[in-house]
Each structure stands twice: as C-alpha cells, then as structure tokens.
Amino acid sequence: MMSFFKKIGKCIANLFITKHNTMTNIVLFGKPGAGKGTQAEVLKEKYDLIHLSTGDIFRFNMKNDTELGKLAKSYINKGDLVPDEVTINMLKSEVEKHTDANGFLFDGFPRTTPQAEALDAFLATKEWKVTATIALEADDEVLVQRLLERGKTSGRADDQDEAKIRNRYEEYNEKTAPLIDFYQGQGKFHSVNGIGEIEEVTSRLSEVIDQL
C-alpha cells in the first residue's frame, strides 16, 4: 500500500507538473523598433506574465552606472550586441527572481543562436520551456523612421544616429535572423504584421497566444 507520505509527495509532484505545463513563456521577436516593448507592456497585464526586456535591464544598469552598465554601454551606444555570456548571465539572474511566475515574456532575448540554446537549456533545468516565439513583422525603412522619431524624445544614443541604427539592423540580419530557422525547426515560430494601430497589433498577437 502506498504510504500517506508517498501519496502527498505524488500530489505535490502533480501540482508541479500542472504548473509547468500551464506556464506560458513567449519570446517576442522582431527587428529594432518593431514594437516589442510597446506590445509587451500590454500583453504582460493581459496574460499575467513577467516582462523581461534585456534592453531595459541594460539601460537601467547604464543609468545607475553599475559595472554591468559600464560594460554594456560600450556596445549599446555603437549599436553592437552585448556579448552573449554577459547577456545570458543577466537574463538567468532576472528569471531567478520570479520563479513563481505564470510565465515570461522575453523581449529582446534571445538575439543570437547561443542565447537561444542557453535559454532552452536553462528553462529545461526548471522543467520549463519556450511555448512560442512571435515575430512582429515590419519593413526596414518604416522601422528606421520610427527609431529616428523615438530618438528625438527617448534620449537613447542608439536611436539618434542613422549609422548606429543601420548597424543594429546588420547585427539583426547576421546574428538574430537565424533564430527564425531555429524556432521554426522546433515548430514554435509565429509571425504577425507589426504595422497598424497598437490595439490592432495587440489583437493579432493575442490571437496567436490564445491558440497556444
């Protein structure tokens, strides 16, 4: 006969399994300026997810002049990606702060294949996984204009100079675009039109999320 404690143990294990299976971890994917941050602000409330934006975390550290901020600044202000090891470690420690979350909305991460592999491996240690990757699609020229507009008010050095913006697109094409194949290979890649009113784009994203 199964002892009482074994039964309790099994119950707890089942609870965990249920929690893992119901966790929704979404990677918001797209070129700089595609609207990931704007949409994440809405979606995090709607689906009760923890929004982790690596760009925001780097900017917070830059503003507070931390060691991480000083390091990141030298890359970000040129429009280059911050090295993988630094970014991956930072992301992991942010996730660790919210292990009781219903799920995460990853915004701006992963941006390279090693980052995507590290994310899968890290989530697996918790028996979690990426549920879906959703890309916001938009034409490069529209995006460059959006970023230059944003640069007028955001104070972001990387948004004020067209050469730096173009460099971010080169980084995207070279290092981030291969992730489309990576997630397509896992059957997790979705994309929606990122052009339109904010609410319109939110409903396109919600349609995908509601079917997961």
Q: With contacts defined by CB under 6 A, name the span among 7-15, 38-46, 80-88, 131-139 that binds ligand ADP.
A: 80-88
Pairing of strands 50-53, 189-193: unpaired
- Of 27, 51, 68, 109, which one interacts with ligand ADP (CB under 6 A)? 109
- Of 28, 49, 52, 55, which one interacts with ligand ADP (CB under 6 A)? 55
What track of x and - describes contact with ligand ADP for positions 115 through 154 (by CB under 6 A)?
x---------------------------------------
173 C-beta neighbours (distance < 10 Å), count: 12
Q: Which is nearer to ligand ADP, 23 or 57 (CB)?
A: 57
Structure tokens that stand for 14 in this block: 């089942």
Q: Which candidate, 212, 192, 209, places its Cα nearest to that of 35?
A: 192
| Site residue total, ligand ADP (CB under 6 A) | 18
The distance from CA 21 to its chain's CA centroid, rounded to whole angstroms, is 20
Q: With contacts defined by CB under 6 A, name the span among 44-52, 62-70, 73-81, 119-127 that binds ligand ADP.
A: 73-81
Contacts of 39 (CB under 8 A, 6+ apart): 28, 136, 198, 201, 202, 205
> Which class for 210: exposed (0-12), middle (13-18), buried (19 or more C-beta within 10 A)?
exposed
Q: Which candidate, 182, 58, 52, 180, places its Cα nearest to that of 120?
A: 182
Report the catalytic residues: 36, 111, 150, 156, 168
- Of 26, 29, 58, 189, which one interacts with ligand ADP (CB under 6 A)? 58
Are the C-beta atoms of 82 and 59 separated by less than 8 Å? no
- Interaction residues for ligand ADP, span 23-52 (CB under 6 A): 32-33
- Interaction residues for ligand ADP, span 161-180 (CB under 6 A): 168
Chain residues in the site for ligand ADP (CB under 6 A): 32-33, 54-55, 58, 75-76, 79-82, 87, 108-109, 111, 115, 158, 168
